[in-house]
Structure 1
Amino acid sequence: MNKAPLPAVIQAGSGRALSRAGFLSLLNTYNCYLKDQTQLHLTYSQGHGGQVIVEGFLNISWGVRRPIRLKIQDDKQILPLQSPTSVDPTSQNSPLGSKSTMSRWGEYSELHQIDEMAETEAAQETVVKDPLPGPPVYETATLRPMRHRSPELEPESNLVRCMSDVSLVKRRKGRGKSAAQREKEKQHRFSINGHFYNYKTSIFTPSFDTSTKVRISSRMTTDQVIEQLLNKFKIENDPQEFALYCVHQSGEKRKLSHRDHPLWERILQGPSDDIMKVFLMDMHEEEVSNDVAQYLNLELPILDQFLLKLREEENREIQRVINKYQHQHRLLSHMLSFKTSPHIETSV
């Protein structure tokens, strides 16, 4: 935390300002509420020009209705590879070539090819270790020995597909590692409520109102926070498909604009999710104003009475407009008839 004296007025987002005492009071209240979770405490520092920058974790709840798509791999720089001209499986340039040739993740068109590679290797080991009596049996379409799927192969195949984004080559390379080491290597990709990448279920909708945390600063705008969240979980969807909404306990739902700063919104509303939650929702989710939200928790008969009163008021307003129109119409008609009446001249 910066020990430099804070300015007398602190900008709290777009068009809002806090006094120094008010800012420190909000920050202390926020951290005292989370006293047992010191890793979630907010810290502040001063940037260039004396601007106060707050950093910490923002709790965001999932409220999307459309399915999201997870990336197969992390954002890594993979050099473009020329497609091999030969499809000979014994060639060194083939992805299914000898074991001495290491292949990079991205050389396979899809995960089925990696799974096929695992089955081929297991079949070859089965043929070598347990040769069948009699003449060798070959597949009809190729000259490879007939493969026999063992009961242990299916669980292993599913395990390959369920891995987050670790290729088969890396898995085979780390066979001698302990379970703790393999678990540690898998943590480079975060899961959405325990859901790691699985090519069968890579498109899914997170459970509504489940929460996650993302580390941001008070300088980050709404769009930047959404991008940070999508990058954390390796989501392929366009950030423009989503928006952040502040959902209050009363039922009010307000959409944050592109220039808003979500961390300042959280600080001003306090740390309690019971009072206000920040939701990631679809871009065109309908907002609920505070005037409408105050009626949401009322009983249905009371709401019917409110609707009846509103209809009566609406009918009175309509009748008032009709009466005013008729009065103006009569007045204008009288004026026009006077203007168009013939003028009679008299001579003396």
Structure 2
Amino acid sequence: MSESALQSVIHTGDGRTLTRSEFLSLINTYNWFLKDQAQLHLTYSQQDRDGEVTVEGFLNISWGVTMPIRLQIQDDKQTPPSPLITPEISIPVSPLESKRGMTRWGEYSDLHQIDENAETPDIIISNVPPAPIPYETTTLRPMRHKNTEQEAESNLVRCQSDASLVKMRRKAKTAAQREEERQHRFSINGHFYNYKTSIFTPTHGASTKVRITSRMSTHQVIEQLLHKFKIENDPEEFALYCVHQSGEKRKLCNRDQPLWERILQGPSEDIMKVFLMDREEEEVSNDVAQYLNLELPILEQVLLKLREEESKEIQRVISKYHHQHRLLSNVLNCKVSPHIETSV
């Protein structure tokens, strides 16, 4: 790559820029850190129309909401349309046709929907030798009495219809099953939709991954996360926060691009995590965060020192106000006082 191409500018959002060499270094470092997890590597492409670089990959987001979330109703209530019935085509009539008439193709949308206990045509087969009579003895145990119900249950497998056997051997998935798997919701730590517990609060700190691009804004990332878990809450109720190891908590605005924030901070979750929190969550500045990890006695001394400085600053402002007030009053008195003329 030429020297001019390496020095070209790449916009990373919020007015920040990187040279192409710095960008490639960040991407290589990011993917090397996740060398054992190739599915989490970042990929990038350049659009010819505007020259912008688009990065694509997974963003790890941790749950930090305190309000309950509402899950949508399961999608399996939407039944797929049944195939058209074509009664014109019929199967050949068997020589041993029963009195019930012919069965036409299309009467059942699928073979596995045929009732396994449906009656089959009565076929009489002659010249069959009788079964041997079982030998019963009462020498060591009493005579066993036959139970017609248990005997009928033991023969259910042999009485299944051909359609049920096709169902047992069938391995290919139907179109409805494939559509159900495609629309299947993801679980939040194993929590799927339940009518009794469809409203709950996710465990704090639990993480999930969302595949996004560097062009997606904060609002779009939140919408995609809610769509992944089929959450009914309004995306305006939530916000993304960058929580650093020092305790700093910064809220991402709608124009920010979360994937760029992740790239610039590096892939390590120990340095910075992206949390989904309530929109009203209070931010913590870096100046305040540096005191959060101190012991309680030290924090009390720091708070006492801040109060003393606050009192001194208040007294300084009050003294300055009184001084300015006296000066202004003297000037006004000089202008208002009457001018006395003397005659010779």
TM-score (norm 1): 0.67
2: distance between equivalents of 1:24 and 1:15?
A: 19
Show the counterpart of 2:254: 258
Match of 1:53, SS state, is strand
Shift of 1:329: 2.1
Shift of 1:186: 5.2
Match of 1:272, SS state, is coil
Show the counterpart of 2:198: 202
* Structure 1, unpaired ranges of 5+: 80-99, 103-174
1:234 equivalent in alignment to 2:235: no
Show the counterpart of 1:222: 218
Paired AA for residue 24 in structure 2:
L
Shift of 1:296: 0.3
Paired AA for residue 302 in structure 2:
F
Provide closer, same or farther for how the CA distance between residues 62 and 313 of structure 1 changes in structure 2, counting only shifts above 3 A: same
Q: 2:284 aligns with which of 279, 285, 288?
A: 288
Q: 1:190 aligns with which of 172, 186, 190?
A: 186
Shift of 1:7: 7.2
Provide closer, same or farther for how the CA distance between residues 321 and 266 of structure 1 changes in structure 2, counting only shifts above 3 A: same
Match of 2:231, SS state, is coil
* Structure 2, unpaired ranges of 5+: 81-106, 110-166
Q: 2:305 aligns with which of 303, 309, 333?
A: 309
- Superposed, 1:92-131 pairs within 5 Å as none
1: distance between equivalents of 2:76 and 2:212?
A: 20
Provide closer, same or farther for how the CA distance between residues 202 and 313 of structure 1 changes in structure 2, counting only shifts above 3 A: same
Deviations 1:28-81 (A, max 9, x none): 1100111010000000011232211100000000000000000003499999xx
Show the counterpart of 2:157: none
2: distance between equivalents of 1:297 and 1:281?
A: 22
Show the counterpart of 1:55: 56
Paired AA for residue 46 in structure 1:
Q
Match of 1:50, SS state, is coil
2: distance between equivalents of 1:6 and 1:227?
A: 35
- State which structure, 1 or 2, has the greater radius of gyration over its C-alpha atoms: 2
2: distance between equivalents of 1:52 and 1:6?
A: 13
- Superposed, 1:54-203 pairs within 5 Å as 54-74=55-75, 188-203=184-199
2: distance between equivalents of 1:207 and 1:279?
A: 12
Shift of 1:256: 0.3
Total equivalences in the alignment? 252
Match of 2:50, SS state, is helix
Q: 1:278 aligns with which of 274, 277, 283?
A: 274
2: distance between equivalents of 1:332 and 1:49?
A: 61
CA contact (8 A) 1:7 1:50 kept: no
CA contact (8 A) 1:74 1:234 kept: no
Structure 1 vs Structure 2 CA RMSD: 3.0
Provide closer, same or farther for how the CA distance between residues 184 and 347 of structure 1 changes in structure 2, counting only shifts above 3 A: closer
Show the counterpart of 2:17: 17
CA contact (8 A) 1:191 1:233 kept: yes
Match of 1:315, SS state, is helix
TM-score (norm 2): 0.67
Provide closer, same or farther for how the CA distance between residues 193 and 23 of structure 1 changes in structure 2, counting only shifts above 3 A: same
CA contact (8 A) 1:62 1:211 kept: yes
Provide closer, same or farther for how the CA distance between residues 259 and 277 of structure 1 changes in structure 2, counting only shifts above 3 A: same
CA contact (8 A) 2:76 2:180 kept: no
Provide closer, same or farther for how the CA distance between residues 342 and 185 of structure 1 changes in structure 2, counting only shifts above 3 A: closer
Show the counterpart of 1:34: 34
Q: 1:244 aligns with which of 236, 240, 247?
A: 240
Percent identity of equivalent pairs: 75
Provide closer, same or farther for how the CA distance between residues 178 and 16 of structure 1 changes in structure 2, counting only shifts above 3 A: farther
- Superposed, 1:316-327 pairs within 5 Å as 316-327=312-323
Provide closer, same or farther for how the CA distance between residues 75 and 19 of structure 1 changes in structure 2, counting only shifts above 3 A: farther
Paired AA for residue 56 in structure 1:
G
Shift of 1:299: 0.7
1: distance between equivalents of 2:215 and 2:337?
A: 73
